[in-house]
């Protein structure tokens, strides 16, 4: 790891001010991706701004129609939150299957969403539930936020402060985890709301994406049978030592059907 | 960037000079000479480096030493109540022959204690196997580790630890 200047601001305002004007500075939330990246010398930030000391960024608030989760809230805290379990149980379930227990004790929702790892779990929930991402400068809709591999709509110096998930009528997330890393080989989040159905896929492409054909079919008939004949094109899907693009395309169908069945339980 | 860091490790106040990039596991092993916490994969997958920070199990190879400023850290060296008595989890690992080479054992024991407490001393085999997902052992096939953890849960409860 290359060395860097370390900062631990106590407020969001301090964090924003510390990052300002430093082109090579990086914010760090849980560090579950950034620290391994630094260890491999894949990044060489001049400054690391640790957001771990900012109390205002952590916490969960729920009302009858939504759950708002502070950016620095740990995966473990989301997974056991009575508010999340009651309002959107699929989201608590998703959080409880990220990485492993030690990773869930450090990793945060804001970090996961800002990172846009192609195999991360949270982006699928953000897109399928049509969440709103709030930052220090404004708000982002879920559609259009995840632009590509490790790329989001966030501007330099823009930090996620919280994410608001509207309560769906039904929802479920199913993933086929890589047995070593627990990252999603393919994960599918299905959500049914009064506005329709959204199907979001992670792990298969360069970033999370929706499957319109499945959404249309499920809007008419919310059963796994309704999507059993929908084939996902393997073109542009990820292909690596863990699985070919064709294998992942097949898994999207399997995980989507399992998710619909789980949502209907 | 050289920084001062101070924390409590196994009940003792410790401090030292570190670089910003110094990992918690390096601080424990190299600054404090506490080599019980192991570095296995160095890529946050194997769990040999698991320690307890403020009541939460963490991978100390994926946390900076400076991030542990002001925290209470417990390592494998801090578990046994005295020189001739082991922690119930360590005892259970010995009784059930839950190790072969022993390299993964410190992390296994630390994760196992956290698992028992998080599940309120009540575990079944499926839960233990699932929750061991962050710890890799290349010798035992996990079978005796699972047996040890299941045996330790009631022992920890009656010992009040």
What's the CA gap between A97 and A64, in Å, rounded?
Answer: 25
| Whether residues B100 and B58 fall in one domain | no
Closest-CA residue of B relative to A41 is: B21
| Whether residues B64 and B12 fall in one domain | yes
Between CA A166 and CA A60, with CA A183 as vertex, the angle to 5 degrees is 30
| Whether residues B111 and B50 fall in one domain | no
Confidence at residue B50, expressed as pLDDT on a 0 to 100 scale: 98
- Full domain range(s) for residue B117: 88-159
| Whether residues B154 and B113 fall in one domain | yes
What's the CA gap between A30 and A17, in Å, rounded?
Answer: 20
In a domain, B80, yes or no: no
| Whether residues B93 and B62 fall in one domain | no
Confidence at residue A44, expressed as pLDDT on a 0 to 100 scale: 96
Contact list in B for residue A4 (CB cut-off 8 A) is: 1, 20-21
In a domain, B82, yes or no: no
In a domain, B139, yes or no: yes
In a domain, B141, yes or no: yes
A102 with B20: Cβ contact below 8 A: no
Confidence at residue A182, expressed as pLDDT on a 0 to 100 scale: 80
In a domain, B83, yes or no: no
What's the CA gap between A194 and B24, in Å, rounded?
Answer: 48
| Whether residues B29 and B94 fall in one domain | no
What's the CA gap between B119 and B154, in Å, rounded?
Answer: 12
Measure CB to CB from residue B1 to each of A5, A31, A103 and give the nearest one: A5
How is residue B25 written in tokens? 């596991």
Contact list in B for residue A181 (CB cut-off 8 A) is: 45
Residue that is last in its domain, among B44, B75, B106: B75
A4 with B115: Cβ contact below 8 A: no
Given a cut of 90, is residue B140 above it in pLDDT? no
Residue that is last in its domain, among B42, B75, B108: B75
What's the CA gap between A240 and A234, in Å, rounded?
Answer: 13
Confidence at residue B43, expressed as pLDDT on a 0 to 100 scale: 86
Confidence at residue A161, expressed as pLDDT on a 0 to 100 scale: 98
A181-200 in b/e form (b: 16+ CB < 10 A) is bbbbbbbbbbbbbeeebbbb
Please give the model's pTM, rounded to 2 decimal places.
Answer: 0.95
Average pLDDT over residues B47-57: 97
CB A88 within 8 A of CB A67: yes
How is residue A220 written in tokens? 């008419």
B62 with A6: Cβ contact below 8 A: no
Interface of B with A in 54-83 (CB under 8 A): 56-59, 62-64, 66-67, 69
How is residue A97 written in tokens? 């299957």
The answer to whether residue B134 neighbours chain A at the CB level (below 8 Å) is yes
The DSSP symbol for B28 reads I
Closest-CA residue of B relative to A100 is: B134
| Whether residues B9 and B69 fall in one domain | yes
What's the CA gap between B66 and B21, in Å, rounded?
Answer: 9
Q: List the one residue out of A185, A220, A193 whose CA is nearest residue A90.
A: A193
Print pLDDT tens along chain A (265 aa).
Answer: 999 999 999 999 999 999 999 999 999 999 999 999 999 999 999 999 999 999 999 999 999 999 999 999 999 999 999 999 999 999 999 999 999 999 999 999 999 999 999 999 999 999 999 999 999 999 999 999 999 999 999 999 999 999 999 999 999 999 999 877 788 999 999 999 999 999 999 999 999 999 999 999 999 999 999 999 999 999 999 999 999 999 999 999 999 999 999 999 9
A35 with B64: Cβ contact below 8 A: yes
| Whether residues B64 and B29 fall in one domain | yes
User: Would you place residue B42 in the very low, low, confident or very high pLDDT band (cuts 50, 70, 90)?
Assistant: confident
What's the CA gap between A126 and A111, in Å, rounded?
Answer: 13
In a domain, B81, yes or no: no
- Here the CATH number for the domain that contains residue B42 is 3.10.20.30
B57 with A99: Cβ contact below 8 A: no
- Here the CATH number for the domain that contains residue B113 is 1.10.150.120
Question: How many domains does the structure of chain B reveal?
Answer: 2
Q: Which domains does chain A have, with CATH numbers?
A: 1-52 (3.30.43.10), 170-263 (3.30.390.50)
In a domain, B14, yes or no: yes
Residue that is last in its domain, among B43, B75, B107: B75
| Whether residues B51 and B17 fall in one domain | yes
| Whether residues B95 and B136 fall in one domain | yes
The answer to whether residue B108 neighbours chain A at the CB level (below 8 Å) is no
B44 with A103: Cβ contact below 8 A: yes
| Whether residues B115 and B52 fall in one domain | no
Measure CB to CB from residue B57 to each of A5, A48, A105 and give the nearest one: A105
Contact list in B for residue A117 (CB cut-off 8 A) is: none
State what percent of residues in chain B have pLDDT above 70. Answer: 100
| Whether residues B71 and B92 fall in one domain | no
Contact list in A for residue B135 (CB cut-off 8 A) is: 100
ipTM of the complex: 0.95
Closest-CA residue of B relative to A181 is: B45
User: Would you place residue B141 in the very low, low, confident or very high pLDDT band (cuts 50, 70, 90)?
Assistant: confident
């Amino acid at each position: 790891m290359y060395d860097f200047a370390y900062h631990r601001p106590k407020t969001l305002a301090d964090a924003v001010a510390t990052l300002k004007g430093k082109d090579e500075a990086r914010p760090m939330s849980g560090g579950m991706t950034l620290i391994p990246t630094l260890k491999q010398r894949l990044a060489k930030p001049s400054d690391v701004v640790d957001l771990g000391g900012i109390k205002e960024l952590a916490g969960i608030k729920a009302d009858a129609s939504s759950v708002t989760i502070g950016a620095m809230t740990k995966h473990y805290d989301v997974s056991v939150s009575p508010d999340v379990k009651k309002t959107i149980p699929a989201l608590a379930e998703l959080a409880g299957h990220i990485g492993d227990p030690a990773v869930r004790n450090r990793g945060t929702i804001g970090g996961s969403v800002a990172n846009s790892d192609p195999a991360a779990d949270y982006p699928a929930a953000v897109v399928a539930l049509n969440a709103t991402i709030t930052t220090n400068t404004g708000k982002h809709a879920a559609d259009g936020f995840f632009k590509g591999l490790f790329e989001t709509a966030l501007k330099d110096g823009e930090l996620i402060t919280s994410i608001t998930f509207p309560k769906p009528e039904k929802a479920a997330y199913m993933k086929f985890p890589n047995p070593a890393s627990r990252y999603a080989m393919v994960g599918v989040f299905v959500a049914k709301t009064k506005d329709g159905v959204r199907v979001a896929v992670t792990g298969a492409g360069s970033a999370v994406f929706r499957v319109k054909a499945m959404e249309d079919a499920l809007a008419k008939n919310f059963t796994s049978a309704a999507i059993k004949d929908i084939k996902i094109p393997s073109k542009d899907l990820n292909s690596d030592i863990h699985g070919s693009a064709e294998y992942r395309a097949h898994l999207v169908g399997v995980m989507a059907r399992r998710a619909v069945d789980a949502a209907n339980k | 960037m050289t920084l001062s860091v101070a924390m409590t490790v196994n009940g003792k106040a410790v401090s030292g000079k570190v670089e910003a990039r110094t990992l918690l596991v390096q601080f424990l092993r190299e600054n404090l000479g506490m080599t019980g916490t192991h570095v296995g994969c160095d890529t946050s997958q194997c769990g040999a480096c698991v320690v307890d920070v403020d009541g939460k199990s963490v991978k100390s190879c994926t946390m900076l030493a400076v991030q542990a400023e002001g925290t209470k850290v417990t390592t494998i060296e801090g578990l046994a109540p005295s020189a001739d008595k082991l922690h119930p989890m360590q005892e259970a690992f010995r009784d059930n022959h839950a190790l072969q080479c022993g390299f993964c054992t410190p992390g296994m024991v630390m994760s196992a204690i956290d698992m028992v407490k998080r599940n309120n001393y009540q575990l079944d085999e499926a839960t233990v196997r699932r929750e061991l997902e962050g710890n890799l052992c290349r010798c035992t096939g996990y079978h005796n580790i699972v047996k040890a953890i299941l045996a330790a849960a009631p022992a920890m409860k009656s010992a009040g630890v």
